[in-house]
Amino acid sequence: MGLEVINLSVKVRDKLVLKNVSLTVDYGTIHAVMGPNGSGKSSLAYAIMGREGYEVVSGDIRLDGESILGLETFERALKGIYIGMQDPPVVPGVRLSTLIIAALNKRSGEVELTKIRNPRVVRDMNVVASGIGLNIELLQREVNVGFSGGERKRSELLQAILLEPKIAILDEPDSGLDIDGIKKVAEYIGDLRNRGKAVMLITHYARLLQYVKPDVVTVLLDGEVIARGDSKLAFLVEERGYNEVRKMYKGA
């Protein structure tokens, strides 16, 4: 059980950006999705979240065996799917701490979205923010307004941890991070797995995967799955490049 993508084809405007893609992300595992620029990694994440403009033309997406295709994005989020976006949007007028509290309240059925019901939430926010190297002052700032690239990435990870999703889709959580940041982020991603979450980890490079070993690696090229394997595949990609890997796997 977990997340299943089954023979999924997705169109953006008139372009087919995913072609017959299948993959499974089980609970307690990390599934890395690699691929060059424009191969469809973010489109896959958006299609799973039901983002407008990413039209599923065939196939299915299932959470715990049930199709989620008919659900709105917010309903998918309430069911426990979280996406840490590649380029997180700025949300002027909303504090980061308020966003997190409102999301937690919405899920628990609380109507007063900004009410702090449990003081532990505030403590947890500070502890986790410090742990991942995010200055806790940023919790009081408007979401991503003036955040540096690395701060945005850390802010997305903070939410992935605090919102306790079942499925965490992290789109290049390592981009723009310094080496200490990468190690720290890797540690927390490993922790998500240890706590039984299903993690889809989108990344270009094997660098992050040195610090957090994925259970499964899927490689996309031009919207198609060209290879699947264990963590060794990530290093093969780094060593040989995507086209070479495609030839190797096609020949296999």
x/- string (CB under 6 A) for ligand ATP, residues 16-35?
A: -x-----------------x
For tokens 């264990």, the residue is 230
Q: Does 40 bind ligand ATP (CB under 6 A)?
A: yes
Q: Does 53 bind ligand ATP (CB under 6 A)?
A: yes
Least Å distance, CB 88 to Mg ion, is: 13
Which of 52/180 has CB closer to ligand ATP? 52
Residue of 157, 150, 27 lying closest to 83 (CA atoms): 157
x/- string (CB under 6 A) for ligand ATP, residues 189-208?
A: ---------------x----
Kindly report the backbone phi and psi dihedral angles of residue 189, in degrees, each rounded to the nearest multiple of 5, phi listed first.
-70, -40
Q: In what order do the strands lie in the sheet with 66-67?
A: 15-26, 2-12, 54-63, 66-67
Which of 105/144 has CB closer to ligand ATP? 144
Kindly determine how many residues on this chain lie close enough to bind ligand ATP according to the rule CB under 6 A: 15
Determine contact, residues 57/11, Cβ cutoff 8 Å: yes
The string of DSSP codes covering 210-247 is HHS--SEEEEEETTEEEEEESHHHHHHHHHH-HHHHHH
177/184 Cα distance (integer angstroms): 10
x/- string (CB under 6 A) for ligand ATP, residues 60-99?
A: --------------------------x-------------
76: its two tokens: 């998918």
Q: Is 197 helix (H, G, I), strand (E, B) or coil?
A: coil
Choose the contact partner of 53 out of Mg ion, ligand ATP, none; CB within 5 to 8 A by kind: ligand ATP
Which of 86/155 has CB closer to ligand ATP? 86
> Residue numbers of the site for Mg ion (CB under 5 A)?
41-42, 86
Residues that bind ligand ATP (CB under 6 A): 12-13, 15, 17, 35, 37-43, 53, 86, 204
